[in-house]
Structure 1
Amino acid sequence: MKALRLTLLALACSAPLLAAAQSWVWVDETGRKVFSDTAPPPSVTANRIIRQPGQRRSVNEAQAQSTPVAAATAAAPAASAASAPRLTGKDAALEEKKKQAQAAEAEKKKADEAGVAQLKEENCKRARAGKNDLSSGMRVARTNAKGEPVVMDDAAKKAEIKVLDEVIARDCKPA
């Protein structure tokens, strides 16, 4: 019975050691240690892996790598640190989509401005033609709400010319 207890005690004490032997330890991009029972992602280079299953370490190595900064320094020599991907905080695909969206927005705005300029030019031509007709001295007739022709008197012509002058001032480019 005593032998059985000693055996169970020995197994209980060695279980954490067996579990630790089957775990992975690596340093992530931010310099923190990551402990896992699965392999690190492919983005983690081999020089940042501190421990993997089946690997034995010496006590000095374990003490030297007990802090994240020391682990990162020991695991990544200066030459490989230069080749490690730089974290800029920007996603290249997202930046490209933003640029495309800005370019599309600028193109749409330019097309809208061109449409507005064309409408102003047409308004300008019509306003000038209307002003010439009203200023010619000829009698001008308009159609009222009932569809009947009504001849404009001088006061109505002046009021209409005033409105056309405002349209010309607003929509016509200075010559």
Structure 2
Amino acid sequence: MLVRLLVLSVAMLPLIASAEIYKWKDKDGVTRYSDVPPPSNIKQESIRGKKVPKPTGQAPLTPVEGDISSALNRAKTPETKTPEKSKEAKENGLNQEDAAKKRAQDAEAKKAADQQKQAELKLKQENCAAARKNLITYTTGGRVSRINENGEREYLGDDDLNNGKNDAQRDVDAYCD
């Protein structure tokens, strides 16, 4: 029994050892690799399933931009030169921190605009549904009533039904695509 348990645990070891590996760039532009995901505000890339060569300690023969082995070697060696400004920062004459703040503000403004558009779309859909419901009420026939200011029920006449039908059709045309 103990031997079976030992064999089973040895067989399960590779499954436990295969962890997800994340790749991202930190605020200094250095590429980082970890089995722990970075903070949620940082763009990350999962490299699970990609073959990552083991570093040999030597520089690659032909470094190619985007090559994982050269990225690993760059990540291991500390940068001695000062960080360069990003393209956007160069164009605007801002340093990286100011450019990052500007991008964050732009992203927040875009998010707020998107939320406002979503709210307007939702309101338009609700208005469309109400207008269609009113149109169905006025076109199906039968006795339609409403409550007046005194709290009494009054039934609509033919003129009121036609006016209500025309108003409902106008609302459907305005709110529904």
TM-score category of the 2 structures, normalised to the smaller one = 0.3 to 0.5
Whichever structure has more helix as a proportion of its residues is 1
TM, length-normalised to structure 2 = 0.46
TM-score, length basis structure 1? 0.47
